Chain A
Amino acid sequence: MDIIVCMKWTPDTSEADLTVDKEGKDIRKDDLDFDMNDWDRFAIEEAVQLKEKVGGKVTAVAVAPEDAEGMLRECLARGADEAYQLWDDAFEGSDGYAVAAILAKFIKDRPHDLVLTGTLADDDCGGQIGGMVAAMLDIPGSTLVSKIQISDGKLTCHRELEGGLYESIEMDLPAVLSVATGLNEPRFVSVRAVRKVAALEIPTLELGDLGLEASAVGSDGSRIRIELMELPPEGEGAEIITGKAEEAAAKLAEILKEKGGIGS
């Protein structure tokens, strides 16, 4: 089975002091550390586990600049058989739609039984890629997939729903699945594991290699234009409740009731 996993290279904003850049259209990323999108970590793990069960080949792919090579190499260390980096200066400024178009073109040109990706990305939380890629390839897709089973060319997957429910979906292959976090336990990647795949080549495919037009990618190929990005204004009315635990709890309950946080 040929499995293609779409990976994203995202800035780690968890411990950083975020600032907006001069143009006011994006955050400043020069000081941020980039890493594999956490949701995609589960996607690549699922792909490798499926391969270990039913056999086949896992291809990792990312629309990302040169610096992201480390992430793709990590995918190889995690068990992917090959990895491709899709990058061209023309790709700069692509929105979800344009990135999906690049990925769809890449996928279309090679064998694919299953396309996996994370449901969301840690940075912009767009959640667009899976659905768009499925539509562009004209194959079925699903999001927030928490379990995948494959037998006799049929795919059964579970989707997480609200309130602890899940639905079970059966679909034909090929298909695009956007996975939820927690559907597996991603393996650990040691320094030695990365070193073992250090010699494998990770080809970079540019605009022409993919057979794409410049007008279909970058800001020209995008459908979303960011007008302004601002940090949220500092809130008012934060109150630190002091006193003994019982008193503090009583006070907190009172405030929540008063402000409509909980029912009365």
Chain B
Amino acid sequence: MTIQEPANVALAGIPAPGLAFVILVAALCLFAYIMNRRIDLLRKAMPDPRFDDIGERIRLALVYGFGQWKQPRYLVGGIIHILLFAGFMILSLRSLTLIGRGFSAEFNLPGLTGSVGMAYEVLKDYAVLMVLVVCIVAIIRRAVFKPARYAHAPGQGHEAEAYVILGMVSALMLTDMIYDGSHLAATGHTDAGLLPAATVASLFMAGSSPAALNALHIGGYWAHILIFFGFLNYLPMSKHFHVITAIPNVFFANVDKGRIKPVRHGVDEWMDLDECGITRFESFTWKHVLDFYSCADCGRCTDNCPANAVGRSLSPRMISIKARDYAYKYYPVFGTAPDPGDIKFVGDVITESEIWACTTCGACENECPILIEYIDKIVDMRRYLVDQGQVPQSLQKPMQAIKKKGNAYGGAKGKRAAWTKELDGIEVKELKAGDATDLLFFVDSCGSFDPRIQELSRSLARILAKSSTDFGILGQDETDSGNEIRRLGEEGLFEQLAQKNIAAFQDRQFKEIVAFDPHAFNAIKNDYPERFPIVHASQVIDRLIKAGRIRLSSDYLAGRVVTYHDPCYLGRHNQIYYEPRQVIQAVPGVRFRDMERSFDRSFCCSGGGVMLWYESEEEKERMGERRVRMAEQIGAQVIVTGCPFCLINLEDAVKTTGNEGKIEVIDLVELVDRSLV
């Protein structure tokens, strides 16, 4: 029995190739129009030079795009996605082939003929079956098992779209199976081993009349073509735009980790601009708009957001979704744009409490499978609020103190080195302009003025003295590093602070800067416009231990179970995970355990620097309390951290969770100081 091929059958009197041509041209024209409208907003948005470092960008696209590297961080969802993605990759060639078969029954893509073509037929048939099964599993998972991270507040999500997409993909697979299965049924060449999908379909058609098989073959074909083009045009209208934009989004991802974007790329005299920050939607950079387009609403960012976890209104994914909704509404593909009237993007669409709730810990960005950025957007929105004078009262005082006195504590400049007075027998050099030293110890405001953190300054000084390291401090000439000032959106003040410290650095000679505060470390390393060699205290200590210049004893830890809390600005923002752990491991016989959330999944303690002053009215518990409970779960008796603000937050949390006397929080420099032999 023979079967008629779609290309040879006229429909309603129109020859198939003509029909295929009309559909192809119409669908592509529509797609081009839609994409052009979407890209139009990117063109209106702010510049961002993302064409540098092409090698790294290709690597990102290969690893995170095609390699789906982050997907398995959520195992079930990740595997489902990888299978779907692999299926799509394989079936993209099939789709092109099928489009061609509307023009000619014998059409095959160049290279996909002969035995290669046969092999591809088999591969694609397995892929069709796999994608169909995966879609059904995904539908069941969403509808029945309802993973919490997919949930939305009423009226805020686009849950239904997920089913539309899964339904369309399933329909694409089914129509392909009908098209191939009817052919198999007609010719009788079933082969479950080689063509499982087509064979399964053919079994359902067993005993059908030749006319019915013909109709199925031709109907399945055209249905497939129509659904395919419908799908293509639906993507840029929905939350599944990521199918198109994800790979470009990964390719154009931020390659400057830890650094905040300038107010406007390519503008040094930003103070003279009319606008600062996100005054309107088009103030976002084109890449940030592409991020909004690309969010797949998978919820991983929010699931890892510490602010969200404790009840603050911030949800990173809702920033993307609300922004995309805004973009789709006010920059529509069809029709005229409605007037937003008094609705302000910053303030009404994204509220002030969402914007200030962020600790800039970076957990969201780190988790996003397609490398969507959030911190720069939050900072740009804060820049607008700061420019309008809208800053929470709890943050204003420390920020003004930094502006007037160079530190958030209101301490007098002359007292910056006062902490050194309580060091027995150790003289800390206050370096004057022109002085030289090996290691310049950048103490920062917290180490200079906070009584608890001054202890860390003294600990590091003792360690350096014990190891006969030549070091000195800036004393009065040091000012706040500005890490949080920049992240709170006060760019003008950040520039002043950076310039003061840069001038102080340039006036002295040193081999390296050391800081025990990861925030200061990050600002100097990544944000300052001039580059200086800088290391974190954990790196210096690790080197000293390896060089045999200091030795640790087990006396202080005395067999207690120790865990390490990765500070955000040491770990996620600067990838320093191993040195602090190596230092802890240098204590003889140490009983070390990592918490479940460790390394790049560490859980923020609620923010450092000026963020320490921020009072959230929304949170139900402190982030630090959550973190201490995580340490409690693994039976830790000592939490070592590498950040003075983590220390303060976690020490408080130990008290408020009733763990005083049971769990000790200690900074790495203190642990080393107390364990010195």
Q: Is the CB of B271 within 8 A of A195?
A: yes
CB distance from A61 to the nearest CB of B (A): 22
Contacts A185-B393, A188-B391, A193-B389 hold; do A16 and B492 have CB atoms under 8 A apart? no
Determine whether B276 belongs to the interface, using a CB cutoff of 8 Å to chain A: yes
Given contacts A15-B412, A192-B271, 5 further A-B contacts (CB under 8 A): A186-B393, A191-B271, A192-B492, A193-B389, A195-B492
Contacts A33-B405, A190-B490 hold; do A12 and B410 have CB atoms under 8 A apart? yes
Q: Is the CB of A191 within 8 A of B490?
A: yes
Q: A16 to chain B: which residues have CB within 8 Å?
A: 412
Q: Which residue of B lies closest to A187 (CB)?
A: B389
Determine whether A31 belongs to the interface, using a CB cutoff of 8 Å to chain B: yes
Contacts A35-B404, A195-B271, A195-B492 hold; do A190 and B387 have CB atoms under 8 A apart? yes
Determine whether B409 belongs to the interface, using a CB cutoff of 8 Å to chain A: yes
Q: Is the CB of B412 within 8 A of A33?
A: yes
Q: Is the CB of B389 within 8 A of A31?
A: no
Q: Which residue of B lies closest to A196 (CB)?
A: B271
Q: A186 to chain B: which residues have CB within 8 Å?
A: 393, 396
Determine whether A14 belongs to the interface, using a CB cutoff of 8 Å to chain B: yes
CB distance from B476 to the nearest CB of A (A): 13
Set A78, A188, A195: member contacting B386, Cβ < 8 A: A188
Q: Which residue of A lies closest to B492 (CB)?
A: A191
8 A-B residue pairs with Cβ-Cβ distance under 8 Å, sorted by A, are A12-B410, A31-B414, A185-B393, A186-B396, A188-B396, A190-B389, A191-B496, A192-B387
Q: Is the CB of B396 within 8 A of A193?
A: no
Q: A33 to chain B: which residues have CB within 8 Å?
A: 404-405, 412
Set A15, A190, A195: member contacting B409, Cβ < 8 A: A15
Q: Which residue of A lies closest to B414 (CB)?
A: A31
CB distance from B193 to the nearest CB of A (A): 71
Q: A191 to chain B: which residues have CB within 8 Å?
A: 271, 403, 490, 492-493, 495-496
Contacts A33-B405, A195-B271 hold; do A190 and B412 have CB atoms under 8 A apart? no
- Would you list which residues of chain B between 400 and 432 have a CB under 8 Å from chain A? 400, 403-405, 409-412, 414
**Best-surrounded residue of B400, B411, B414, B491 (most CB of chain A within 10 A):** B400
Q: In the complex the two chains form, what is the Cα distance from A187 to B271 in whole Å?
A: 19
Q: Is the CB of A187 within 8 A of B405?
A: no
Question: 4 tightest A-B contacts by CB?
Answer: A191-B492, A187-B389, A188-B391, A192-B492
Q: Is the CB of A31 within 8 A of B412?
A: yes
Determine whether A189 belongs to the interface, using a CB cutoff of 8 Å to chain B: yes
* Interface size bracket, B side: 20 to 34
Determine whether B399 belongs to the interface, using a CB cutoff of 8 Å to chain A: yes
Q: Is the CB of A187 within 8 A of B490?
A: no
Contact with B along A14-31 (1 / 0, CB 8 A): 111000000000000001
Q: Which residue of B lies closest to A45 (CB)?
A: B389
Q: A31 to chain B: which residues have CB within 8 Å?
A: 412, 414
Q: Which residue of B lies closest to A79 (CB)?
A: B389
Q: In the complex the two chains form, what is the Cα distance from A208 to B55 in whole Å?
A: 72
Q: A195 to chain B: which residues have CB within 8 Å?
A: 271, 492
Q: A189 to chain B: which residues have CB within 8 Å?
A: 389, 400
Q: A193 to chain B: which residues have CB within 8 Å?
A: 387, 389
Q: A78 to chain B: which residues have CB within 8 Å?
A: 389
Q: In the complex the two chains form, what is the Cα distance from A76 to B410 in whole Å?
A: 24
Q: B396 to chain A: which residues have CB within 8 Å?
A: 186, 188
Q: In the complex the two chains form, what is the Cα distance from A188 to B276 in whole Å?
A: 15
Q: Is the CB of A190 within 8 A of B492?
A: yes
Contact with A along B370-397 (1 / 0, CB 8 A): 0000000000000000111111010010
SS class, residues of chain A in contact with chain B:
loop
Q: Is the CB of B410 within 8 A of A14?
A: yes
Which B residues lie at the A interface, using CB under 8 A? 271, 276, 386-391, 393, 396, 399-400, 403-405, 409-412, 414, 490-493, 495-496
Contacts A33-B405, A195-B271, A195-B492 hold; do A190 and B386 have CB atoms under 8 A apart? yes
Q: In the complex the two chains form, what is the Cα distance from A142 to B564 in whole Å?
A: 59
Contact with B along A154-196 (1 / 0, CB 8 A): 0000000000000000000000000000000111111111010
Q: B409 to chain A: which residues have CB within 8 Å?
A: 15
Q: A185 to chain B: which residues have CB within 8 Å?
A: 393
- Would you list which residues of chain A between 28 and 45 have a CB under 8 Å from chain B? 31, 33, 35
**Best-surrounded residue of A14, A16, A188, A193 (most CB of chain B within 10 A):** A188
Contacts A12-B410, A15-B409, A78-B389 hold; do A188 and B492 have CB atoms under 8 A apart? no
Q: Is the CB of A188 within 8 A of B403?
A: no
Q: Is the CB of B493 within 8 A of A190?
A: yes
Q: A15 to chain B: which residues have CB within 8 Å?
A: 409-412
Q: B388 to chain A: which residues have CB within 8 Å?
A: 187
CB distance from B490 to the nearest CB of A (A): 6
Contact with B along A191-210 (1 / 0, CB 8 A): 11101000000000000000
Q: A12 to chain B: which residues have CB within 8 Å?
A: 410
Q: Is the CB of B276 within 8 A of A192?
A: yes
Q: A187 to chain B: which residues have CB within 8 Å?
A: 388-391
CB distance from B418 to the nearest CB of A (A): 11
Q: A190 to chain B: which residues have CB within 8 Å?
A: 386-387, 389, 490, 492-493
CB distance from B86 to the nearest CB of A (A): 50
CB distance from B496 to the nearest CB of A (A): 6
**Best-surrounded residue of A15, A78, A191, A192 (most CB of chain B within 10 A):** A192
CB distance from B409 to the nearest CB of A (A): 7
Q: Which residue of B lies closest to A78 (CB)?
A: B389
Q: B411 to chain A: which residues have CB within 8 Å?
A: 15
CB distance from B14 to the nearest CB of A (A): 65
- Would you list which residues of chain A between 188 and 244 have a CB under 8 Å from chain B? 188-193, 195
Contact with B along A129-169 (1 / 0, CB 8 A): 00000000000000000000000000000000000000000
Q: B399 to chain A: which residues have CB within 8 Å?
A: 188
Q: B387 to chain A: which residues have CB within 8 Å?
A: 190, 192-193
Q: Is the CB of B390 within 8 A of A188?
A: yes
Q: Which residue of A lies closest to B397 (CB)?
A: A38
Q: B390 to chain A: which residues have CB within 8 Å?
A: 187-188
Q: In the complex the two chains form, what is the Cα distance from A261 to B495 in whole Å?
A: 52
Q: In the complex the two chains form, what is the Cα distance from A109 to B161 in whole Å?
A: 69
Q: B271 to chain A: which residues have CB within 8 Å?
A: 191-192, 195
Q: In the complex the two chains form, what is the Cα distance from A193 to B389 in whole Å?
A: 8
CB distance from B403 to the nearest CB of A (A): 7
CB distance from B569 to the nearest CB of A (A): 24
Q: In the complex the two chains form, what is the Cα distance from A107 to B414 in whole Å?
A: 40
Q: In the complex the two chains form, what is the Cα distance from A189 to B495 in whole Å?
A: 16
**Best-surrounded residue of B391, B399, B496 (most CB of chain A within 10 A):** B391
Q: B393 to chain A: which residues have CB within 8 Å?
A: 185-186
CB distance from B398 to the nearest CB of A (A): 11
Q: In the complex the two chains form, what is the Cα distance from A186 to B412 in whole Å?
A: 25
Q: In the complex the two chains form, what is the Cα distance from A163 to B405 in whole Å?
A: 37
Q: A35 to chain B: which residues have CB within 8 Å?
A: 404
Q: Which residue of A lies closest to B407 (CB)?
A: A15
Q: Which residue of A lies closest to B399 (CB)?
A: A188
Q: In the complex the two chains form, what is the Cα distance from A35 to B400 in whole Å?
A: 10
Q: B389 to chain A: which residues have CB within 8 Å?
A: 78, 187-190, 193
Q: B403 to chain A: which residues have CB within 8 Å?
A: 191
Q: In the complex the two chains form, what is the Cα distance from A78 to B387 in whole Å?
A: 11
**Best-surrounded residue of B405, B409, B412, B493 (most CB of chain A within 10 A):** B412
CB distance from A68 to the nearest CB of B (A): 14
CB distance from B383 to the nearest CB of A (A): 9
Q: B490 to chain A: which residues have CB within 8 Å?
A: 190-191
